[in-house]
Chains A and B, each alone.
Chain A
Amino acid sequence: MSNAKEKIPLERIDSNRWRIPQHYSTEMRVPGMVYADDELIEQIVQDNALQQVANVATLPGIVGYSLGMPDIHWGYGFPVGGVAATHADYGVVSPGGIGFDINCGVRLLATDLLYDQVRGKSDKLADELFNNLPSGVGGTGMRQLSSGEMRAVMTHGAAWAIEEGYGFAEDLETTEEHGCLAGADPDIVSDNAIQRGMKQLGSLGSGNHFAEVQVVDHIYDAQAASALGLERTGQVVVTIHCGSRGFGHQIAEDYIRLAEAKQQDYGFKLVDRQLACLPLQSNAGKSYLAAMACGANFAWANRQMLMHGVRQAFASVFGRRARPKDMPLVYDVCHNIAKMEEYEVDGQVQRVCVHRKGATRAFPANHPAVPEKYRAVGQPVLIPGDMGRYSFVLVGAQGSMEQSFGSCCHGAGRRQSRTAAKKSISSQQLLDHLAARGVTVRVHSKNLLPEEAPQAYKDAQQVVNVVHNAGLASLVARLKPVIVVKG
């Protein structure tokens, strides 16, 4: 890819923000705004991400800015790390702006254990987790579902899983949307999607999905950390990163194809077919959101079941029961989703469809959607880093409401292609490197591991520093991995 910096004008607004002026292209309806410091922007211009920020700015009905978070990288249509809000009355929804993995997201559990209690049992715990959490290509999930059960999953989300014995009602209080997006309509989800989903519920999948046992390594804000149940350094926590598996992928494929075939009917001229979009007020647009909700609910049921597998693994290894009292769910966030929300744009409160494509909601203190027990500090924001380095917990800040449609970054963000990553390190070298850092790894497909090597990713610390300094979210704690389970 050619160096986009030569072609795309970037205006430095401050130490955290760069604007792509609207005049860069006659098709842009709004300017672009990329959150990055001077070092990260040098990495960001290495691939096509900025062009994609500019492309998203062409979407009908987009308001404010086409946004890029500091972990941004080249995606398809939308960049990964992109945020775009479109007006509810005259704007569009672009299924590619949610992505194939609908409601890919992250959940964090706290435990009452310290690392010293876990250290001697790392291998046993790693094995137990690997057994409990189905993963890898060509595998099936914890449960094979009937079509009736699939309907219930689509309409009830995490609550279905809890009713089936995978967790507890209180888990829903600390899940985004209580683990179920309203408006799901199973009748408009294809049989193909249902076929893919039926065998995959309760599985991690592969690629960059994982379950990680981590240790609280540093606390930035003791008051906020304590409110979230992160009491001290050395405390053991667990992160799960996973989405809607083949089910969400098929829904996305079906609706992107539908949208792409209808662009001429709507009179849309796309700069990229992957940006194919549907008017929010059209039946097709409403259908997409109803199908997206089905996908999102499947992902919440999936993460709920995986969390249950994690609790059971700890129960088995440490001789106790798998209860939320000992292993509470701190929070669960989506990072591939569209939400109908309200923001002040140009002095007026407007209802918009916020597309978060590799971006996390970051509501501040006192926002009514924040769980009551967190309302004084803000919504937890969970930012997984790469395998060998830190992950982060933040809370949403007021700046996100003013600047970024309630959004911030979602992870470290790739900076190296999978091919380049595989050339730069072998599986064994990577396993040795991780072992030297005290990380125990269990993985199904060893030869896929180098693609996820730390050097393939940006430095998550740099990424979260930018969102913290820009006022989108505030740092609470840093987590260090000690066990990684991957497909």
Chain B
Amino acid sequence: MTAQVPYEAFDHTADIGLHAYGSTLAELFANAALGMESLMVAPDQVRPLASREITARGHDLVSLLVDWLDKLIFLFDTEFLLVCACEIQAISETQLTASVSGEPYDPQRHELSSAIKAVTWHEAAVERTAAGYKATIIFDI
């Protein structure tokens, strides 16, 4: 049996979509975040120099996922912080706490592939699979 990829992008006319995978919810949410960040800058270009604590909330797993990713976009838009590592400390259907690390965007060193401006709810999903969980999300870029 081949190992599951943590995430993979898919095409959309104006924007971009992501499938993320994880054997646990925590792994899924971490991979969804790292997948989103990878759409902006390749992970190996980002160093874990600064960290932030994040709490996200929702009324179900999809709204929790959207809130979690929204908070990372907020960090990028206000502090220009790119994230390369995530540790989900606690997660339930309605709340998660996490510690993320990364560094500010530096046009000299970071090759930007896209600038993600928002997370959309279009076709957003969190599903159980044989191997654990799968998330689907489309971003506005």
A residues in contact (CB < 8 Å) with B: 47, 49, 73-77, 80, 96, 100-101, 136-138, 192, 195-196, 199, 206-207, 246, 249-250, 252-253, 256-257, 260-261, 272-274, 276, 414-420, 444-445, 447-448, 451
- Bound complex: CA of A420 vs CA of B15, how far in Å? 11
B117/A249 in contact, CB under 8 A? yes
Per-position binary interface string of chain B over residues 97-136, scored 1 when its CB falls under 8 Å from any chain A CB and 0 otherwise: 0000000010100011111011111111000000000000
A100 contact from B74, B112, B113, B117, Cβ within 8 A: B117
Beyond known contacts A100-B117, A273-B122, A448-B112: 20 more, CB 8 A cutoff: A76-B140, A77-B120, A96-B121, A100-B118, A100-B140, A137-B112, A138-B105, A192-B74, A249-B77, A256-B121, A273-B124, A276-B121, A415-B13, A419-B9, A419-B11, A420-B11, A444-B107, A445-B115, A447-B112, A447-B113
Contact residues of B between 4 and 60, Cβ < 8 Å to A: 9, 11-16, 59
Query: Chain B contacts of A447 at CB under 8 A?
Result: 111-113
B107/A138 in contact, CB under 8 A? yes
Query: Chain B contacts of A138 at CB under 8 A?
Result: 80, 105, 107
Residue of A nearest to B120 (CB): A76
Query: Chain A contacts of B124 at CB under 8 A?
Result: 273
A77 contact from B15, B16, B115, B122, Cβ within 8 A: B122
- Bound complex: CA of A420 vs CA of B12, how far in Å? 10
Interface of B is mostly: loop
Q: For the complex formed, measure the closest distance between the CB of A477 and the CB atoms of chain B, giving whole angstroms.
A: 27
Residue of A nearest to B118 (CB): A100
Residue of B nearest to A47 (CB): B13
**Interface core residue of A253, A420, A447 (most chain B CB under 10 Å):** A253
A–B complex contacts, Cβ < 8 Å, 16 sampled? A74-B13, A75-B14, A76-B120, A76-B121, A76-B123, A77-B122, A136-B107, A249-B140, A252-B118, A257-B63, A273-B62, A274-B120, A417-B14, A418-B114, A447-B111, A451-B114
A260/B63 in contact, CB under 8 A? yes
- Bound complex: CA of A137 vs CA of B77, how far in Å? 9
- 9 closest A-B pairs (Cβ-Cβ)? A76-B122, A273-B121, A76-B120, A274-B122, A274-B121, A417-B11, A137-B115, A100-B118, A74-B13
B14/A418 in contact, CB under 8 A? yes
Q: For the complex formed, measure the closest distance between the CB of A304 and the CB atoms of chain B, giving whole angstroms.
A: 22
B66/A207 in contact, CB under 8 A? no
B112/A76 in contact, CB under 8 A? no
Residue of B nearest to A52 (CB): B122
- Bound complex: CA of A417 vs CA of B114, how far in Å? 13
Residue of A nearest to B71 (CB): A192
A416/B121 in contact, CB under 8 A? no
Is B78 on the interface with A (CB-CB < 8 A)?
yes
Query: Chain B contacts of A76 at CB under 8 A?
Result: 15, 120-123, 138, 140
- Bound complex: CA of A136 vs CA of B141, how far in Å? 13
Query: Chain B contacts of A419 at CB under 8 A?
Result: 9, 11, 16
Query: Chain A contacts of B13 at CB under 8 A?
Result: 47, 49, 73-74, 414-417
- Bound complex: CA of A257 vs CA of B9, how far in Å? 24
B residues in contact (CB < 8 Å) with A: 9, 11-16, 59, 62-63, 66-67, 70, 74, 77-78, 80, 105, 107, 111-115, 117-124, 138, 140-141
Residue of B nearest to A206 (CB): B115
- Bound complex: CA of A250 vs CA of B67, how far in Å? 12
Taking A100-B140, A250-B74, A419-B9 as contacts, is the C-beta distance between A414 and B14 under 8 angstroms?
A: yes
Query: Chain B contacts of A445 at CB under 8 A?
Result: 107, 112, 115
- Bound complex: CA of A101 vs CA of B120, how far in Å? 12
Residue of B nearest to A247 (CB): B77
Q: For the complex formed, measure the closest distance between the CB of A419 and the CB atoms of chain B, giving whole angstroms.
A: 5
Query: Chain B contacts of A196 at CB under 8 A?
Result: 74, 77-78
A74/B63 in contact, CB under 8 A? no
- Bound complex: CA of A192 vs CA of B118, how far in Å? 14
Query: Chain A contacts of B115 at CB under 8 A?
Result: 137, 206-207, 445, 448
- Bound complex: CA of A40 vs CA of B124, how far in Å? 29
**Interface core residue of A96, A199, A257 (most chain B CB under 10 Å):** A257
- Bound complex: CA of A256 vs CA of B122, how far in Å? 11
Query: Chain B contacts of A77 at CB under 8 A?
Result: 120-122
A418/B121 in contact, CB under 8 A? no
Residue of B nearest to A48 (CB): B13
- Bound complex: CA of A419 vs CA of B114, how far in Å? 10
A253/B11 in contact, CB under 8 A? no
B15 contact from A192, A257, A418, Cβ within 8 A: A418
Query: Chain B contacts of A272 at CB under 8 A?
Result: 121-123
Q: For the complex formed, measure the closest distance between the CB of B104 and the CB atoms of chain A, giving whole angstroms.
A: 8
A253 contact from B16, B118, B123, Cβ within 8 A: B118
**Interface core residue of A76, A80, A199, A416 (most chain B CB under 10 Å):** A76
**Interface core residue of B66, B67, B80, B120 (most chain A CB under 10 Å):** B120
- Bound complex: CA of A420 vs CA of B9, how far in Å? 13
Residue of B nearest to A261 (CB): B59
- Bound complex: CA of A232 vs CA of B18, how far in Å? 49
A260 contact from B11, B80, B118, B121, Cβ within 8 A: B121
Query: Chain A contacts of B70 at CB under 8 A?
Result: 253, 257
B66/A257 in contact, CB under 8 A? yes
Q: For the complex formed, measure the closest distance between the CB of A346 and the CB atoms of chain B, giving whole angstroms.
A: 31
Query: Chain A contacts of B9 at CB under 8 A?
Result: 419
Query: Chain B contacts of A420 at CB under 8 A?
Result: 11
Query: Chain A contacts of B62 at CB under 8 A?
Result: 273
Residue of A nearest to B122 (CB): A76
**Interface core residue of B14, B74, B77, B111 (most chain A CB under 10 Å):** B14
Taking A273-B62, A418-B114, A418-B141 as contacts, is the C-beta distance between A137 and B121 under 8 angstroms?
A: no
